[in-house]
Structure formats: C-alpha cells, structure tokens
Amino acid sequence: MKLADLAPLMERRRDGGMSFDRFRDDAALLPLRWPDDVLEQVLFEHGDNPSFVYDYGAVDLREIAWRLETISASELCEMPTGASDGGCIDLFARNPEHWIKVRPAPVGRHWEEHGTWLRAPILISRQLLDPPCEGLQVWEGRTRVGVLCGRHRRRLHVAPHHQAWVGRPRTAPSGSRSTHL
C-alpha cells in the first residue's frame, strides 16, 4: 500500500471534514496496524501533502513496524528529512524561540522544564526509501527537531535523549531494534 492508494480516503477527509476517529477506523487503514499517534501525525495530517507524497510515495506503508525509541539529541541534530523539505530543519533551528512562541503555552513550558517536546516526532528508516540507504530521517516533526537543534546550538536547556516514533522495515534482519506494532 502506497500513499497514492489512500487518495480516495484523503479526499473524503478533506471534503467531509472527517474526524480522526472516523479516519482511523476506515477499512483502508486496517492493514497498517500503526499506532494512533503515528497514523494521525503522518497520514491524517500530511497524507495528501504534495511534497510529502513526492518524497514518500514509493514507501510501502504495510512494511513499516513502529516502536517508540530513545534517540540522542546529537543524532537527531544530524538527521535529514525528505528532499522536498531539505532545508526546513535548519530554518526552524535558526530561531527556536519563535517556533516555540507560536505554539500553545504548554509546549514552551515543557521545553523549559524538560528540554524536549511534548509529542514524539516520527522518524523513518532510510532502508524503506527508494533508493534505500542507511540511517534514519525525520518523517514528521521537522519543526520539533529544528527547535531541538536550535536550542542545542544556543546551549539552551536540552535533554540528552528524546522519545521518537521510529518506523523500521517489518522484515528487518535479526539483531535490529525493530518490533511489530
């Protein structure tokens, strides 16, 4: 199943003002078995975004196994995103205070108190991309990762490790950190 296969569902979501609960329960999504947080951030919010579809249209969505993982701040700050939004993480990192201020107040308080985000961003194994390669990249949450990198560069309070949803191939080689969700 590719993003293009979900175009009719995305159209119904746009046209009918579909709630996330109705979207999540659609029969087209049942084969995915994705956590609600991933489903909402990736498909419900961005599944028909042209840049997103361009960058990730070749990914077989059924082949992704999700797990909440702990990732170091330094690893996150080196992570790329899709080619269509290649410079956006750096753009957000240039002014992290602004991107925090335009969010609800609890977001800023959480950064100040805990040095991390309220909601885990979504990372994807680059083995799932076409062409496949090593490492992870930011699939959704570019602003959050940019804020993290900007705060890190400015030596503001940043936790050393952060939670993120990580999608890896379901058929990962033995010894990998992937689990089925």
Q: Is residue 175 part of a domain?
A: no
Verify that 42 and 129 share a domain, yes or no.
Answer: no
Give the DSSP per-residue string, 51-108. HHHHHHTT--GGGEEEEEEEEEHHHHHT--B-GGGTTHHHHHHH-HHHHHHTS-HHHH
Q: What is the mean pLDDT of residues 39-61?
A: 93
- Bridge partners (DSSP) listed for residue 71: 162
Single residue among 62, 92, 111 that ends a domain in this structure: 62
Single residue among 62, 95, 111 that ends a domain in this structure: 62
User: pLDDT digits over 54-79, tens only?
Assistant: 999 999 999 999 999 999 999 999 99
Q: Is residue 72 part of a domain?
A: yes
The number of distinct structural domains making up the chain is 2
Q: Comparing C-alpha atoms, which of 80, 79, 9, 20 is closest to residue 47?
A: 9
Verify that 144 and 72 share a domain, yes or no.
Answer: yes
Single residue among 62, 91, 111 that ends a domain in this structure: 62
Q: Comparing C-alpha atoms, which of 5, 119, 121 is closest to residue 56?
A: 5
User: pLDDT digits over 89-139, tens only?
Assistant: 999 999 999 999 999 999 999 999 999 999 999 999 999 998 999 999 999
Q: Yes or no: say if 162 and 117 are a contact pair by the CB < 8 Å rule.
A: yes
Verify that 109 and 159 share a domain, yes or no.
Answer: yes
pLDDT of residue 2: 95
Range of 17's domain?
Answer: 3-62
Strand pairing class (122-125; 161-169): parallel
Q: What is this structure's pTM?
A: 0.90
Q: Is residue 88 part of a domain?
A: yes
Residue 125 three-state SS: strand
pLDDT of residue 35: 97
- What is the number of residues in the chain? 181
Verify that 44 and 91 share a domain, yes or no.
Answer: no
